[in-house]
Amino acid sequence: MNLNFYTHLAPKHNNSSSIKIIGHIAALITIIMWGFSFISTKILLDFGMGPVEIYIYRFVIAYLLMLAIYHKRFKSHSWRDEVLFILCALCGSSLYFIAENTALEYTLASNVSLLTSLSPIFTAILTGMFFANEKPGRGMYIGSSIAFIGVACVIFNSSTNLEVHPFGDILSIFAAIGWAIYSLLIRRLSANYDVGFITRRIFFYGLITSLPFLILSPSLANPIDIFTNFIPLINLLFLAVGASMLGFLLWAFSVKEIGAITTGNYMYLQPVITMIASVIVLHDNLSVLGIIGCTLILAGLWLGEKLNQ
């Protein structure tokens, strides 16, 4: 194994604290959008759109917008980098979102949320295994464990059922592992390309690799119904422009500036945002368990950063 490849994934030391603050803010904004994206996806699923269909629509719109903004460069430096772009597209785009959305059809939503929230832990484990310059400290593991307990509290805020559905649960775990791999690989690409080119390239390969799944989809919603109804249209545009285009740009920037592990830990906040959005939009109940979960997540994130300094 060529260790020179992995050394590129270690975060660059930047003496500018303001840039790192911006990196944290970018990660937080991204997680807020991704937290709300679960609500938008649920609305589109209730409208009759399939999981693959939602992915195709949102990323076609996102890719066309990226192409309009970042259209000067079309080639990467080498075929090896091109392979990395394809892997990033598979792990962090097409397979991730299709696996996550499909899992919702085979297992409980609480199971999917809990298992996909394992991605920061997988990121820390993979980093510790392969990257000598970015080994997570004991504080990171302690903080992650506390935050993960908080995630479980948030998820079971309105449900106390935990049933085992092997196919959906396995898909959720694969999605979490895929996102961890994506978070690490994006670091290598960020060393040689700007985030705009990276994001556009990943969207392109994500769409290409999702086409076989679209062919296998049973039935598709009528595009006229989607684009002439305000509710599905506004939610689809939010997923495309906010959660996809802006989200991936900001996430890639954060990984570049504050590292894969620190950025990945913001994923623990996602169920908190989703819970708050569910209360506001779907009028779900907020229990004491949910409040305890939010507190544990924030405490775990703070403790992990504090003990790792």
pTM above 0.85, yes or no: no
CA 21 to CA 300: how far, in whole Å? 19
Identity of the highest mean pLDDT range in 42-46, 211-215, 227-231: 227-231
Q: First-to-last CA distance in the chain?
A: 30
Distance CA 43, CA 236 (A): 10
Tell me the C-alpha distance between 233 and 211, whole Å. Answer: 22
DSSP for 252-288 reads HHHHHHH-HHHHHHGGGGHHHHHHHHHHHHS-----H
Q: Whose CA is closest to 95, among 152, 171, 186, 23?
A: 171
| Whether residue 203 has pLDDT greater than 90 | yes
Question: In this predicted model, what pLDDT tens digit does every residue of 263-280 receive, in sequence order?
Answer: 888 887 877 787 778 778
CB 130 within 8 A of CB 6: yes
Residue 129 has a pLDDT of 75
Q: For the residues 53-76, what does the mean pLDDT come to?
A: 89
Task: Say whether pLDDT at 305 is over 80.
Answer: no
Check residue 4 and give its pLDDT.
Answer: 43
Binning pLDDT at 50, 70 and 90, where does residue 8 land? very low
**pLDDT tens digits, one per residue of 219-248:** 677 888 888 899 999 999 999 999 999 999
Dump pLDDT digits (tens) for 122-159: 887 787 777 656 666 677 778 778 877 877 776 666 55
Q: What is the pLDDT of residue 159?
A: 56
